[in-house]
Amino acid sequence: MPPLDTAVAPRNGSTRPGTKVRNRIRTVTSVIVVLFLASVAFFLTWGVDGHWDFALPRRIEQLAALLVVGIAVAVSTVIFHTLTENHILTPSIMGFDALYILLATSIVFFVGAYAYAEIPDLLLFSINTGMLVLGATLLYRWILSDATRGLYTLVLVGVIGGTLFGSVTSFMFRVMNPNEFDVLMTVLFASFSSIDTAVLGIASVLLVGGTIAAYRMISVLDVLTLGRDRAITLGVDYRRVVTVLLVIVAGLVAVSTALVGPITFLGLLAANLAYRLTSTHRHTVNFPVAALLAVTMLILGQAALQHILGYAGTLGSIINLAGGIFFVILLVRQSKP
Partner 1 sequence: MISVESLTKAYNGDAVVDAVTLQLPGSGLTTIVGPNGAGKSTLLSLISRILGPDAGTVIADDIDVLSAPGTEVAKKLSILRQDQNTTARITVRELVEFGRYPYSKGRLTEACHIAVEEAISYCDLVSLEERPIHEMSGGQRQRAYLAMVLAQDTRYVLLDEPLNNLDMVHATGMMRLLRSLADDQGKSIVLVLHDINYASVYSDRIVGMRDGEVVQDGPTSEVITPDALQAVFGTAFPVHDLAGNKFADYFR
Partner 2 sequence: MATVVLWAAVAAVVTLSVASMFVGVIDIDFGAVLTDPEARRVFALSRIPRTLALILAGTAMAVAGLILQSLMRNRFVAPTTAGTVDAAAVGLLVVIIISPGAPVMGKVMVALVFALVGTILFLAVVRRTRFREAILVPLIGLVLGGVYRAVAEFLAYRYNLVQSIDTWFNADFSGIIAGRYETLWLAGAAAAAAYVFANRLTAVGMGEAFATSIGVNYRATMAVGMGIAAFATAVVVVTVGAIPFLGLIVPNIVTILVGDSLRKVLPITALAGAVLVLGCDIAGRIVIFPYEIPVGTIVGTVGAGIFLFLVMRKGNRYAAA
Q: Of 102, 121, 221, which is closest to residue 171 (Cα–Cα)?
A: 102
Nearer to partner 2, 7 or 152 (CB): 152
Give the one entry of partner 2, partner 1, none that residue 313 binds, where binding means its C-beta sits below a cut-off of 5 to 8 angstroms depending on kind: partner 2
Residue 287: CB minimum distance to partner 1, A: 14
What is the Cα–Cα distance from 155 to 210, expressed in whole angstroms?
A: 24
Give the one entry of partner 2, partner 1, none that residue 120 binds, where binding means its C-beta sits below a cut-off of 5 to 8 angstroms depending on kind: none
What is the Cα–Cα distance from 275 to 15, expressed in whole angstroms?
A: 22
Using CA atoms, how far residue 264 sits from 1, 129, 154, 207, 308, in Å, is 54, 19, 18, 19, 23
What is the Cα–Cα distance from 90 to 158, expressed in whole angstroms?
A: 10
Give the one entry of partner 2, partner 1, none that residue 232 binds, where binding means its C-beta sits below a cut-off of 5 to 8 angstroms depending on kind: partner 1
Residue 294: CB minimum distance to partner 2, A: 17
What is the Cα–Cα distance from 58 to 200, expressed in whole angstroms?
A: 13
Nearer to partner 1, 147 or 309 (CB): 147
Nearer to partner 2, 215 or 238 (CB): 238
Nearer to partner 2, 248 or 253 (CB): 253
Nearer to partner 1, 25 or 318 (CB): 25
Nearer to partner 2, 11 or 333 (CB): 333
Contact residues for partner 1, defined by CB under 8 A: 1-7, 9, 11-12, 15, 17-18, 20-21, 85-87, 147-148, 218-220, 222-223, 225-227, 229-230, 232-237, 275, 279-282
Q: Of 164, 165, 127, which is closest to residue 254 (Cα–Cα)?
A: 127
Burial 307-332 (b: 16+ CB within 10 A, else e): eeeeeeebbbebbbebbeebbeebee
Give the one entry of partner 2, partner 1, none that residue 229 binds, where binding means its C-beta sits below a cut-off of 5 to 8 angstroms depending on kind: partner 1
Residue type, 309: L
Nearer to partner 1, 22 or 307 (CB): 22
The number of CA neighbours under 13 Å toward the Cβ of 84 is 23
Nearer to partner 1, 245 or 255 (CB): 245
Give the one entry of partner 1, partner 2, none that residue 168 binds, where binding means its C-beta sits below a cut-off of 5 to 8 angstroms depending on kind: partner 2
Residue 303: CB minimum distance to partner 1, A: 33
Give the one entry of partner 2, partner 1, none that residue 194 binds, where binding means its C-beta sits below a cut-off of 5 to 8 angstroms depending on kind: none
Give the one entry of partner 2, partner 1, none that residue 170 binds, where binding means its C-beta sits below a cut-off of 5 to 8 angstroms depending on kind: partner 2
Residue 289: CB minimum distance to partner 1, A: 13
Contact residues for partner 2, defined by CB under 8 A: 86, 88-89, 93, 148-153, 155-157, 159-161, 163-164, 166-168, 170-171, 174-175, 264-265, 268, 312-314, 317-318, 320-321, 324-325, 327-328, 331-332, 334-336
Residue 79: CB minimum distance to partner 1, A: 14
What is the distance, to the nearest Å, from the Cα of residue 88 to the centroid of all Cα atoms in its chain?
A: 13
Residue 21: CB minimum distance to partner 1, A: 7
